[in-house]
C-alpha cells in the first residue's frame, strides 16, 4: 500500500537557520503530494502542495519539489522564524476514479525554533 516516510524529529533550530525536513513516499501511479502544518492546539492546515512531477509547491517561504525519480518531497525554508514552530506532516493522495480520496500521512516532524 501507499506509505510516507518522514525524517524523525524533533528538530530544534535557531531563528534564521535553514530548514530541511525529508519526506519520501511509496505509491503506485502518480500521487499528489502535500505538506500540512499543525500549530499547537489546532488542526492540520495545508501548507503547500504539488500535483505532478517536477512541480514546486511554495507558501510562506516554504518550498518543496516533487521528485519522481527519487520519490521525494523534501520541505525547505531558508530562514525559519519562532512562529514556524509546529508539527509538519508530509502526505499523499492517489485518488482514483470512483473511489474516495484518502490522504496517507507521514508520522510528523516536530519543529521548534528558538529566538
Partner 1 sequence: NAGVTQTPKFRILKIGQSMTLQCAQDMNHNYMYWYRQDPGMGLKLIYYSVGAGITDKGEVPNGYNVSRSTTEDFPLRLELAAPSQTSVYFCATASPGFMNTEAFFGQGTRLTVV
Alpha carbon 34 to its chain's center: 6
Q: Cβ of residue 93: shortest distance to partner 1, in angstroms?
A: 6
Is 57 one of the binding residues for partner 1 (CB under 8 A)?
no
Alpha helical stretches, state H, the chain: none
Instruction: Give the chain's end-to-end CA distance (angstroms, integer).
Output: 41
Is 106 one of the binding residues for partner 1 (CB under 8 A)?
yes
Q: Distance (Å, rounded) from C-alpha 54 to C-alpha 51?
A: 9
Residue numbers 13-52 binding partner 1 by CB under 8 A:
32, 34, 41-46, 49, 51
Q: Of residues 62, 73, 88, 89, which one binds partner 1 by CB under 8 A?
A: 89
* Number of residues engaging partner 1 in binding (CB under 8 A): 23
Give residues with Cβ within 8 angstroms of 41, minimum separation 6: none
Binding stretches for partner 1 (CB under 8 A): 4, 6, 32, 34, 41-46, 49, 51, 89, 93, 95, 100-103, 105-108
Amino acid at each position: 500500500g501507499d506509505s510516507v516516510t518522514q525524517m524523525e524529529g524533533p528538530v530544534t533550530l535557531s531563528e534564521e537557520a535553514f530548514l530541511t525536513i525529508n519526506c519520501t513516499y511509496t505509491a503506485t501511479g502518480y500521487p499528489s503530494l502535500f505538506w500540512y502544518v499543525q500549530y499547537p492546539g489546532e488542526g492540520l492546515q495545508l501548507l503547500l502542495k504539488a500535483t505532478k512531477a517536477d512541480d514546486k509547491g511554495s507558501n510562506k517561504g516554504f518550498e518543496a519539489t516533487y521528485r519522481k525519480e527519487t520519490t521525494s518531497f523534501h520541505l525547505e525554508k531558508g530562514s525559519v522564524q519562532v512562529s514556524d514552530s509546529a508539527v509538519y506532516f508530509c502526505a499523499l493522495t492517489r485518488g482514483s476514479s470512483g473511489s474516495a480520496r484518502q490522504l496517507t500521512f507521514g508520522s510528523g516532524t516536530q519543529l521548534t525554533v528558538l529566538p
